[in-house]
Amino acid sequence: MLSRREILKGSALLALSTSAGAGTSWSQEPTAPVAATNYGLVRGFVDEGVLVFKGIPYGDDTAKHRFQPPAKPIPWAGTRNTVAFGPQAPQPIHTHSGRNTFSPLDPISPVNSEDCLHLNIWTSKLRSQSSEKRPVMVYIHGGAYSSSSSNGPVYDGVRLVKRGDVVVVTLNHRLNLFGYLYLAQLGGPEFADSGNVGQLDLILALEWIRDNIAEFGGDPKSVMIFGQSGGGAKCATLMAIPKAKGLFHRVATMSGQQITATTPQHATATAQAVLAELGLTRATLNDIKDPAKVPMDKLVAAIRVGKYYGPVHDGHILPHDPFSPEAPSISSGVPMMMGTTHDETRLLLGASDPSLFSLNWEDLPARLEKYRQFLGSLKTENIIALYRTWYPKYTASDVFFAVTTAFRSWHGFVIESERRAARNGPTWVYEFDWKSPVDGGKWGAPHTMDIPFAFDNIQIAASMTGSSNDSENLADQISDTFIAFARTGDPNNAAIPKWPRFDLTQRATMCWNSVSQVKNDPRSNERNLIAGAPYIQPGT
């Protein structure tokens, strides 16, 4: 949870940024840091000795460029106050998880706007203060491709900067139908890129970083992109987009993989459903570009009719599936660190259905059958029997979460890591095994749990992690590892055991826990079992 000091500071800064125009000087804080971007001067603030700039525009208002590639920001006169987060991308307003337990992930005062292309920077020194160039850690938020933002407390970069003298960047971009509505087969040439403009926003942000980050003490030739869940999937997709080549130099994904993209056929069906909801036809399709004719809130209301929004295999921006039938060749030499959590679905499924934590053995087969698409032709009763043999102390609920984690969440991760290894790309694999003590330990090591450890923000996220020397020590190890990887392209550092690269012979995996250790092919029994089922990218 945020401290009272942090809440008051944020409120004061928000009030200040609201009252002061973009070209207005901030006389109340004469020592506030000022940096020069290619588009104008920006003034930030100091937090615990770290220079912070929030809400810097990296692109123009997307309301003027709906379903089209983003445009660069319009230059401004004077000095722009950048002391508060920019708006989040348009989306239904709701919390990340629907539970207070995981509230540190939720955006602060979420405000929807199509003017959402903003980024935030934490750094120790500007170029005018030091000639040293620091590695840049660019975080891409999760929420699939449809929701959330980078404005949550847990993504604060102060501790990473103080710990490793890096530059931290977080950002917002177009999501859901605003970023991934494929209109290319229904409209004119101006809609050619519409199914991937959310990814093009990310590329524009990386281009902004390439051209401007040196002013903030960052090294444009040492950029790591990292993301969790949907953020990791966005990173994996960027690895296969030619326009993104050379804009990043390391990749770290956390419980986020993208094997296949949406086919144009399925994406067009979604677009047709949205147009029908909006009362638009091919003849009136161009109206969708005009906020006066189709207001933002009407588009937000239409999001619900689409089954899935995400990158489209359009043969243009995304010429082929990200990791199918193999890992992308254009990024095979980029070092990659990728991980998953041991109990992904305890949050992904359990947060919205508490009854899953009290299943009995009679209920279990029917509950697992709801996920038949992931189980393939394997018989449910045989799967349950194997898990009861492998893990005799598991309850029926434990087996449910273990099976759904393996087949629904972990399977794609295994495929992606194997295809990276087949290309001999420098790859390191981890599994987050540390179990949260919160709520009596019911959540285990769930989806999202590695985020506060990577950011060294477990105090902010104490409602997720609890507070103990155990969690503090693990946060030291993981955050040091992410910093080392950003700096060198190799995660090995003094805080952890020697971590070999992943290959198909040993399958070396760093297992994060109270005592972290490298294990070869952990959960091999489960890995061999899921290999007998087809993998379907969730949502597509």
pLDDT digits 0-9 by tens, 142-192: 999 999 999 999 999 999 999 999 999 999 999 999 999 999 999 989 999
- Interval 49-59 mean pLDDT: 98
For the chain, what is the mean pLDDT?
A: 92
Structure tokens at 537: 């990218």
Structure tokens at 409: 């969440």
Which regions of 189-243 does DSSP assign to beta strands (E)? 218-228
Q: How is 84-103 classified by DSSP, letter by letter?
A: SPPPBPS-----SSSSGGGG
Residue 514 appears among annotated catalytic residues: no
Q: Is the pTM of this model over 0.95?
A: no
Percent of the chain with pLDDT over 70: 92
What is the rounded CA–CA span in Å between residue 113 and residue 300? 11
Q: How confident is the model at residue 511 (pLDDT cuts 50, 70, 90)?
A: very high
pLDDT digits 0-9 by tens, 458-493: 999 999 998 888 999 999 999 999 999 999 999 999
The confidence score (pLDDT) of residue 31 equals 82
Q: For residue 512, give the 3-state DSSP assignment.
A: strand
Q: For residue 318, give the 3-state DSSP assignment.
A: coil
Has residue 101 got a pLDDT over 70?
no
Has residue 437 got a pLDDT over 70?
yes
Structure tokens at 513: 């826990």
- The CATH number of whichever domain residue 186 belongs to comes to 3.40.50.1820
Q: How confident is the model at residue 538 (pLDDT cuts 50, 70, 90)?
A: confident
Domain extent at residue 301: 1-355+427-498
CA distances from residue 283 to 66, 276, 280, 290, 312 in whole angstroms, order as listed: 18, 12, 8, 15, 24
Nearest to 169 by CA among 274, 72, 52: 52
The confidence score (pLDDT) of residue 27 equals 33
What is the rounded CA–CA span in Å between residue 198 and residue 224? 19
Is residue 415 assigned to a domain?
no
From the list 97, 229, 409, 471, the catalytic residue is 229
User: Who has greater pLDDT, 424 or 14?
Assistant: 424
Has residue 107 got a pLDDT over 80?
no
Is residue 125 assigned to a domain?
yes
Is residue 391 assigned to a domain?
no
Is residue 223 assigned to a domain?
yes
Has residue 102 got a pLDDT over 60?
no
Is residue 409 assigned to a domain?
no
CA distances from residue 367 to 354, 372, 404, 512, 536 in whole angstroms, order as listed: 13, 10, 10, 30, 19
Is residue 431 assigned to a domain?
yes
- Interval 16-37 mean pLDDT: 55
The confidence score (pLDDT) of residue 81 equals 97
The confidence score (pLDDT) of residue 94 equals 64
* Domains: count for the chain: 1
Has residue 303 got a pLDDT over 50?
yes
The confidence score (pLDDT) of residue 24 equals 32
pLDDT digits 0-9 by tens, 206-261: 999 999 999 999 999 999 999 999 999 999 999 999 999 999 999 999 999 999 99
Is residue 406 assigned to a domain?
no
Is residue 526 assigned to a domain?
no
The confidence score (pLDDT) of residue 30 equals 54
The confidence score (pLDDT) of residue 365 equals 97
Has residue 14 got a pLDDT over 70?
no
